[in-house]
Each structure stands twice: as structure tokens, then as C-alpha cells.
């Protein structure tokens, strides 16, 4: 399987780079998790905390990770080899990082399959015959075979896109889906302004913060975790996507732009869902069921709700599928570069292994819950914390800036940036990581 190193692809254009990075960042965290956390924490206060955490923790760490990737032109195996100055240890730790991140697709495909199933439910006006909570339960308990087939087909599409390559695959699809996502949510927002009664009250809930919740450390931890999960800092996706930036191209402004696009996606998803649900008096603390239970219930009360429901499900699908590309590409790029393997063979091998676990998770609730908890709550946050330590304390923030990030970038980050990262961003990241493993924040 070992062979001569293949020529690495770079992003073909600046727009393609931004849309691909945005596709990597924009995912279920934006259009699924962010709206229900906003609802759970009482509206705008969570948005404020999210933005603070984004600027203080996520953006500084992401700039370093993207610059590091651009500099080494490799994946997690190469990165940890450079960090530790030891090939065997680097390949071992790098393999754990990339494989751990790829396990997110084990359960991810089933969630995406749910968006397709609910699109069908909206198209057949199922909500007029069955209440949304029953629809959701029916999908999970009675439609497992259908969901499994859909999940397998979605994964096959992910494999096909990666097989086409960086430019013809990931970049080409992202340039269509990411703008499409924003267009869909804009249509929903405009429609809600005209057809949802009491929509002004819904916007009041979303935009007027209850500042009392800002005194709760748990809320800040949730906001930091959401910002990290949303943008994807830490486990290797920004590193890998950054490694496909040309060495003489900009990575600093590119990452900041992507973080802003990602934040806009989260905010616009919130605008599309939260005010409508709040205006109609629905439960804003329904947790993960917001997208599959609260949203259908809200749409059932307005004209053309089925059409808006289909559009909303497609927006969620677009957001999720572009993240699924990244979750597999991290493993593909890392093994291709780290072990000098053939890219297409690696894609097929990773795809085959992932397919087995996707089918298992679709058929077994216990398997789905395990991988959801394992990869989302442990692997992601631990690799993010260790990645921040490796990039900034072992390799060195200043070294990344001087050797990798600043060269070629339109805006050079000065000496002020180093203490920000080393003494504020990384320590806060470590606190979030430790609390996720051993909760101590009240």
C-alpha cells in the first residue's frame, strides 16, 4: 500500500477555500445545537456569551491551527510528528486524533437520514395527521430499516465526493451548498415576518438578553463548547483543511472570515427557528428535539408550512453533509500524508469501515447513543484541548506565527497575539476540556 507521495491538491480559488472551510465549520452544531441552546438559556444572553468565547478562545486557536496546517502541508500524523520530533509517537497520536474525529460520522449519517425522512413527512403532510412528537418517535422506532438505507446512501455520497478530490469534490459541492443554506434560511425568515403571528415577541425573546444567566459558569462552559464544536477547532479538521492552502497564500484572514461566516450561519439559523417557535408559544427548552419536534409543530400553524419544512430540512442537510466531508477527510488526508498511501484506496477503506458502523448505529439505539456521546462529548473536546497544548506550548505559538501563519498572510499578527493565545485562550480551553471529563463548574 505504500508508494510514492502523490501530488497534494490545494484549493482552486479563494472563494472555494472559504466555502470549503465554511462547509467544514457549518454543521449540525450551527443549525441544530445552537438554536436549542439559545432557547434553553433564555435567548440573547447565550448569543452574547457565544460571541465572547468565539473571539477569546476559538478564533486565536483556529488561526494557529490553520497556519500550522498550511505550514506543514500535512495531516494530524505529520503535525504530531513535527510537534513531538518523534515519528513513531507522532504517527500513533496523530492516528488516534484522526480516527477519533472520523467516528463522528458513525452516528452523524443517521441524523442526516432523519432530515431526509422528515422532508418526506412534510411533503406528504404527515404533520396534519400525526403530532410531531409521535412522528419523531415513529421515525426512531418503526422506520429503522428506511433510515439505515438512507444513511448508507448519504455515506456513499460522501465517499464519492471525497473520491473526486479536493477541487472537483469538496470544493465544488461546498460552493453550491453553503450559499444555498443561507438562501434557504433567508426565505424562511422573510416568510415568518409576514405569516407568523406575534413574530415581534419571538424576536424580543431572541434578541433581548436575560443578563442574569451570565453569572452562571455552566452557561459560559456551554457557550465555549458550542463555539469550539461549531467552528471545529482542535481535532484536526482546521489543520487538514488548512494544509490544502498554498504556502504563499493567506490563512489568517481566511480563518477569521470563515469564523464569521460560521457565526452568521448559527445566528441566521436561530433567527429562522427561535422567534417562530417562541412566538407560537412552543417549548423553547426542548433540547435536541427542537429541529424535529418544535419546528414541525411551529410550521403546522402557518400557511405553506410544509414547503418551509422541506426547505428547513434541506438547510440542515446541507450544513451536516459538508461537515461529514471534513470528518472523513481528516482521516484520509492524515493517512495519505503520514503513511504515503494512495488517496483513493484510503477513501474506500475508511468508507467501508465507516459504513459498517453507520449501519450498526442506524439499527441500534444503544450504538447511536454510544458514538454520539463518545465522539461528541469526549473525543472532540479532548483532542481540541490536547491540540491546543501541542500547537502552542510544545511547538510554540510564536514559532507557528513566524514560520507558518504570518508568511503569505495579508494581515500579520504581532507580538500581542502570543500572550493572548498562551495565557488566555489555551488555559480557558483546558478548563473546558477538564470540566467535560470531570465536571466541576456549578
Average pLDDT for 412-431: 93
- The model's confidence at residue 6, banded by pLDDT at 50, 70 and 90, is low
Greater model confidence, 187 or 334: 334
Question: Which DSSP string corresponds to 297-360?
Answer: HHHTTSTTHHHHHHHHHHHHHHHHHHHHHHHHHHHHHHHHHHHTB-HHHHHHHHHHHHHHHHHH
Q: What are 243-258's pLDDT values in tens digits? A: 999 888 899 998 999 8
DSSP assignment letter at 10: -
- CB 282, CB 298: distance < 8 Å: yes
Specify the range with the lowest mean pLDDT, choosing from 76-85, 300-309, 326-335.
Answer: 300-309
**pLDDT (0 to 100) of residue 2:** 35
Greater model confidence, 23 or 352: 352
Tell me whether residue 30 is exposed, middle or buried, using C-beta atoms within 10 angstroms of its C-beta: 0 to 12, 13 to 18, 19 or more.
buried
Average pLDDT for 3-9: 59
**pLDDT (0 to 100) of residue 4:** 40
Residue 159 has pLDDT above 90, yes or no: yes
Coil, strand or helix: which one is 130?
coil
Q: What are 96-145's pLDDT values in tens digits? A: 999 998 999 999 899 899 889 989 988 888 877 887 778 777 887 778 88
Q: SS3 breakdown of the chain: % helix, strand, coil, rounded to 5?
A: 80, 0, 20
Whole-structure pTM value: 0.88
- The model's confidence at residue 282, banded by pLDDT at 50, 70 and 90, is low
Pairwise CA distance, residues 108 & 26, whole Å: 14
- CB 21, CB 241: distance < 8 Å: yes
Residue 5 has pLDDT above 50, yes or no: no
**pLDDT (0 to 100) of residue 3:** 40
Cell of 18: 472559504
Phi-psi region of 42 (alpha: psi -120 to 50; beta: other; left: phi over 0): left
Tell me whether residue 215 is exposed, middle or buried, using C-beta atoms within 10 angstroms of its C-beta: 0 to 12, 13 to 18, 19 or more.
exposed
Cell of 192: 415568518
Pairwise CA distance, residues 291 & 37, whole Å: 12
**pLDDT (0 to 100) of residue 1:** 34
Residue 8 has pLDDT above 60, yes or no: yes
Pairwise CA distance, residues 357 & 295, whole Å: 29
How big is the chain by its Cα radius of gyration, in Å? 21
Residue 236 has pLDDT above 80, yes or no: yes
Residue 154 has pLDDT above 90, yes or no: yes
Percentage of the residues of the chain whose pLDDT score is greater than 70: 95
- CB 340, CB 8: distance < 8 Å: no
Task: Determine how many CB atoms are found less than 10 A away from the CB of residue 183.
Answer: 12
Which residues does 7 contact at the CB level (< 8 Å), separation at least 6? none
- The model's confidence at residue 338, banded by pLDDT at 50, 70 and 90, is very high
Cell of 168: 472537483
**pLDDT (0 to 100) of residue 396:** 95
Specify the range with the lowest mean pLDDT, choosing from 166-170, 234-238, 255-259.
Answer: 234-238
Pairwise CA distance, residues 195 & 280, whole Å: 11
**pLDDT (0 to 100) of residue 374:** 87
Percentage of the residues of the chain whose pLDDT score is greater than 90: 41
Average pLDDT for 377-399: 91
Domains in the chain, start-ordered, CATH in brackets? Answer: 14-440 (1.20.1740.10)
Q: What are 358-387's pLDDT values in tens digits? A: 999 999 889 988 998 888 778 888 898 999
DSSP assignment letter at 212: G
Amino acid at each position: 500500500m505504500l508508494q510514492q507521495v502523490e501530488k497534494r491538491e490545494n484549493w482552486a480559488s479563494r472563494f472555494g477555500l472559504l466555502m470549503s472551510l465554511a462547509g467544514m465549520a457549518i454543521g449540525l452544531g450551527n443549525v441544530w445545537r445552537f438554536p436549542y441552546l439559545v432557547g434553553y438559556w433564555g435567548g440573547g444572553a447565550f448569543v452574547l456569551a457565544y460571541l465572547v468565547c468565539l473571539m477569546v478562545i476559538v478564533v486565536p486557536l483556529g488561526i494557529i491551527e490553520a497556519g500550522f496546517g498550511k505550514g506543514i502541508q500535512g495531516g494530524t500524523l505529520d503535525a504530531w510528528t513535527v510537534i513531538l520530533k518523534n515519528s513513531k509517537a507522532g504517527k500513533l497520536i496523530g492516528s488516534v486524533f484522526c480516527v477519533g474525529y472520523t467516528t463522528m460520522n458513525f452516528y452523524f449519517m443517521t441524523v442526516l437520514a432523519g432530515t431526509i425522512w422528515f422532508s418526506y413527512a412534510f411533503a406528504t403532510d404527515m404533520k396534519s395527521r400525526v403530532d410531531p412528537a409521535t412522528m419523531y418517535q415513529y421515525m426512531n422506532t418503526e422506520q429503522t430499516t428506511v433510515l439505515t438505507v438512507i444513511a448508507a446512501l448519504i455515506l456513499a455520497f460522501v465517499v464519492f465526493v471525497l473520491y473526486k478530490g479536493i477541487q472537483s469534490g469538496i470544493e465544488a459541492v461546498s460552493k453550491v451548498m453553503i450559499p444555498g443554506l443561507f438562501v434557504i434560511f433567508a426565505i424562511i425568515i422573510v416568510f415568518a415576518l409576514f405569516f407568523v403571528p406575534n413574530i415581534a415577541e419571538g424576536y424580543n425573546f431572541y434578541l433581548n438578553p436575560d443578563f442574569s444567566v451570565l453569572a452562571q459558569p455552566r452557561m459560559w462552559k456551554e457557550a465555549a463548547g458550542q463555539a469550539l464544536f461549531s467552528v471545529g477547532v482542535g481535532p484536526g479538521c482546521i489543520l487538514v483543511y488548512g494544509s490544502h492552502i498554498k504556502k504563499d497564500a493567506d490563512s489568517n484572514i481566511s480563518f477569521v472570515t470563515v469564523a464569521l461566516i460560521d457565526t452568521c450561519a448559527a445566528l441566521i439559523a436561530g433567527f429562522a427557528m427561535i422567534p417562530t417557535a417562541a412566538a407560537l408559544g412552543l417549548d423553547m427548552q426542548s433540547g435536541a428535539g427542537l429541529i424535529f419536534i418544535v419546528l414541525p409543530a411551529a410550521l403546522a400553524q402557518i400557511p405553506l408550512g410544509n414547503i418551509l419544512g422541506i426547505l428547513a430540512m434541506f438547510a440542515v442537510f446541507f450544513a451536516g453533509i459538508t461537515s461529514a466531508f471534513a470528518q472523513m477527510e481528516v482521516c484520509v488526508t492524515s493517512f495519505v500524508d503520514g503513511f504515503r498511501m494512495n488517496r483513493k484506496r484510503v477513501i474506500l477503506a475508511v468508507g467501508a469501515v465507516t459504513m459498517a458502523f453507520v449501519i450498526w448505529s442506524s439499527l441500534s439505539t444503544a450504538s447511536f447513543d454510544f458514538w454520539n456521546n463518545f465522539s461528541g462529548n469526549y473525543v472532540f473536546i479532548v483532542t481540541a484541548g490536547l491540540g491546543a497544548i501541542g500547537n502552542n506550548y510544545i511547538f510554540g505559538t510564536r514559532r507557528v506565527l513566524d514560520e507558518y501563519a504570518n508568511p503569505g498572510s495579508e494581515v500579520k499578527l504581532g507580538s500581542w497575539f502570543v500572550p493572548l493565545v498562551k495565557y488566555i485562550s489555551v488555559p480557558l480551553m483546558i478548563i473546558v476540556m477538564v470540566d467535560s471529563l470531570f465536571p466541576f463548574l456549578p
